[in-house]
Amino acid sequence: MLELRSRHLFTMTILLEPPQLDGPTPFGHRRIVIIKGGSFEGASMRGAVLPGGGDWVLIRNDGSFALDVRLTLKTDDGATILMTYRGYRQGPPEVLARLNRGEAVDPSLYYFRINPLFETASEKYARLNNVVAVGIGERLAEGPRYTIHEIL
């Protein structure tokens, strides 16, 4: 069996606006949240999360969050990178309720994982177009923080 290896790509913090929509739909409880900004930093890249991206969250019947996010990264050397990801945040109902109230909760008490994909025209960062990545999330009051790892 092959060994799964990874290396840290960057850590990203996202700042969120209040939800534009937050209510029941025929598909579940939908929450649409616009990204206000943020930052990311790793060994070979750093920069800003640009305003205007969004998360089309579906809160499922079991209380778990199904994430569907599109955002734009702008590196400190001027490259633009589209980052999309899907993921899940789930845990015991009492932990999820605390997170929904904006309380600080130990990330070991819930599961929060994403699978980012990247798209860029930048020659310097072109390798990202073919990277498989995973992220471990933590929900802070102002938005999520992710540690993103490239799968080698």
**Domain ranges for the chain:** 6-151
- Separation of alpha carbons 72 and 148, rounded Å: 15
pLDDT digit string, tens, across residues 43-83: 999 999 999 999 999 999 888 999 999 999 999 999 999 99
Asked if pLDDT for residue 134 goes beyond 80, the answer is yes
Q: Please compute the mean of the pLDDT values over residues 102-130 and round it to a whole number.
A: 97
| Predicted pLDDT of residue 25 | 92
Q: Cβ neighbours of residue 84 under 8 Å, at least 6 residues apart?
A: 69, 70, 71, 116, 117, 119
Asked if pLDDT for residue 1 goes beyond 70, the answer is no
Asked if pLDDT for residue 91 goes beyond 70, the answer is yes
| Predicted pLDDT of residue 101 | 87
Asked if pLDDT for residue 100 goes beyond 90, the answer is no
Q: Residue 19 gets which letter from DSSP?
A: P
Fold (CATH) for 6-151: Porin (2.40.160)
Burial of 93 (0-12, 13-18, 19+ CB in 10 A): exposed
Amino acid at residue number 94: E
